[in-house]
Chains A and B, each alone.
Chain A
Amino acid sequence: MIEQVRIVLRNSGLINPEDIDDYISVRGYEALVKCLTESSPEDIIQTVKASGLRGRGGGGFPTGIKWEVTAASESDEKFVICNADEGDPGAFMDRAVLEGDPHSVMEAMTIAGYCIGSSKGIIYIRAEYPLAIERLNTAIAQSYEYGFLGENIFGTDFSFDIELKFGAGAFVCGEETSLIKSVEGKRGEPVVKPPYPAESGLWGKPTLVNNVETYANISPIILNGAQWFRSFGDEKSPGTKVFALAGKVNKVGLVEVPMGTTLRQVIFEVGGGIKNGKEFKAVQTGGPSGGCITSENLDTPITYDNLKAIDSMMGSGGMIVLDEDDCMVNVAKFYLEFSLDESCGKCTPCRIGNTRLWEMLDDITKGRADDNTMEKLEVLCNTIKKSALCGLGQASPNPVLSTMKYFRDEYLEHINDKKCRAGVCKALIDYAINPDKCIGCTLCARNCPVMCIHGEPKKTHVIDQDKCIKCGSCLSSCKFGAVYYS
């Protein structure tokens, strides 16, 4: 049985997030005091580098190097930003950290400010998280009272302030250049990198952008050392990762496990297996930029590189479990719809390419696709991947590509046989009643919203196909398994 290891979630649910004393009593802010009074910025950056911590927002870029580069940029002004724009549908670990342990993030941001030579921190947070915003505001006010924030912290010449900036419901703003545009009060459209934010970010000044979970790792690393951190996880991906396990799994929730734990352990041991005894079909990681992983790859140890090798990605840590009732073409369409909706419209491959992709997928789910569709899909996916401007666009075809690769037969079934085995694509299914099983209980007829099921009590019922809207309520209401779809 795999044990959870709580580094990021060490205090979440155990301390009162609205009381700074509770945080201090579990060695909160000790790392900050240690850094400012005993260490040089160079030493701290070396420790973070040596720990091998990689960005937990999804990309996995080494955090220490990011800090080092930003520290080396010459400027009269620099910024530290915390990316709390958790837009990935199905991920909620950042929200849990901010609601449960806001000081851990602020402490790390202040340490980062000291390291790179910045006196201004900004937490860019989704407006959809009102509770997290409230707790952060409380935490910031309390921090000033003790002198963990403000002018000349601990009598040094280092000053640091933290301010909140709110997102406004744009997924693309999780991308760091878009995020910066949004903080500047503009439309959150991404810009070409380089220059990286480390050189020219907010208001053209060097800017360090890290994710909530990344920051939450910093204080334990400083207090316990890089080697301690490396004792968890894997050589290239040290430490732990928090996953938001959701979908058709028994124990939905947040899970923090060492990197290198297998998907099977997470889903079946920690997650307690699939709901209602159904068959596992796939697990989606990486959100709209990731892919679907099938049962044959369930024993893959979770690391940044391993997930990439099986056509998915770590992403921010959302893990959606799918079962036999989910149609993979429809899932791909769902993610594409998301990317399409969230595309900022600046570059053509993303704006128009994704629209065309969506139309093709829509054709497949409605039985209008022809033999060429698969090939066209593939070509267009690869074109978008190569030519889109930012991470959102480049990654948007990933769910399509990965489902096409691992569930090709399901696509072909939709196209050639006009069949959806999961019974999701309405245009491809007809509901019918098996006369051998129907006892004429009338339950389906009473539940039918369009009253298209006819039959006398205690006699076999029949569905009027012309009127049927394929809502499936007859299927879910029948207690005798008489309703089926074909």
Chain B
Amino acid sequence: MKKITDMKSYLEVKNELSEIKKQNTNSKILIGYGTCGIAAGAGEIYEALEESIISGEILNCELVKVGCVGYCHAEPTIELQYPDGTSVLLGNLHPHTVPEVVAGYLSNFKKKGKHVLEKNVTCDVTKV
């Protein structure tokens, strides 16, 4: 790993990382993997999604474990980040149905549905 020594080397690393992100045309599935999420079954959700990615049921996406977004009442939750930078937060998921639900949203980058809690959670003003 490259040591950061000043602003210049920091920006080089940062820009490189942003560039990799930009070129990545996969969608991301962020799984709320905090204590609450795990207790509510995030582990099973992760396994179910992992299996369907391996089996090819869900294509072109990456699974990432993240912290909690605060929607405890709807745990387990996942956020789908589409390649165009938009996103949708889904809640009240079940391991048996989650691959189908996720595949449905990903097929046309859907933003509406009964699992949707919030759209584009990233708000620009605080995305410093």
Contact = CB atoms under 8 A, between A and B. Distances in A.
Are A and B close enough to touch in the complex, i.e. CB under 8 Å?
yes
B70 A219 contact: no
Contacts of A148: 4
Interface string B11-30: 00110011001000000001
A276 interface: no
B84 interface: no
Interface stretch (A31-39, A385-393, A472-480): A31-39
A155 B125 CA distance: 33
A99 B65 contact: no
Interface stretch (B32-40, B45-53, B101-109): B32-40
Contacts of A147: 3-5
Contact of A14 (B34, B36, B38, B79): B79
Contact of A13 (B38, B121, B128): B121
Interface stretch (A21-29, A47-55, A69-77, A180-188): A21-29
Given A14-B79, A24-B14, A223-B128, A99 B73 contact: no
Given A5-B123, A13-B79, A223-B128, A254 B72 contact: yes
11 contacts: A5-B126, A13-B79, A24-B13, A29-B10, A96-B34, A96-B68, A100-B34, A100-B66, A147-B3, A147-B5, A255-B70
Nearest to B2: A146
Interface residues of B, number: 39
B59 interface: no
A101 interface: yes
Given A34-B7, A155-B6, A99 B17 contact: no
Contact of A38 (B3, B7, B123): B7
Contact of A27 (B21, B64, B128): B128
B65 A18 contact: yes
A426 interface: no
Nearest to A223: B128
B54 interface: no
Contacts of A155: 5-6
B63 to A, nearest CB: 10
B30 A14 contact: yes
Contact of A17 (B7, B14, B36, B66): B66
A16 B66 contact: yes
A10 B4 CA distance: 24
B4 A251 contact: no
A99 B18 contact: no
A358 B38 CA distance: 37
A75 B74 CA distance: 50
Contacts of B32: 13
Contacts of B123: 3-6
A29 B72 CA distance: 29
Nearest to A152: B5
A4 B118 CA distance: 11
Nearest to A251: B73
B34, B36, B69: residue with the most chain A Cβ atoms closer than 10 Å: B34
Contact of A100 (B38, B67, B77): B67
B125 A5 contact: yes
Nearest to A147: B3
Given A24-B13, A252-B73, A33 B7 contact: yes
Given A12-B70, A154-B4, A254-B72, A129 B14 contact: no
B66 A33 contact: no
A95 to B, nearest CB: 7
A129 B35 contact: yes
Interface string A373-399: 000000000000000000000000000
B122 A253 contact: no
Given A14-B66, A34-B7, 13 more contacts: A6-B121, A24-B14, A27-B128, A30-B14, A92-B36, A99-B34, A100-B69, A135-B67, A154-B5, A154-B6, A251-B71, A253-B70, A253-B74
A145 B1 contact: yes
Contacts of B13: 24, 146
B30 A13 contact: yes
A33 B68 contact: no
A219 B128 CA distance: 9
B68 A99 contact: yes
Contacts of A97: 67
B34 to A, nearest CB: 5
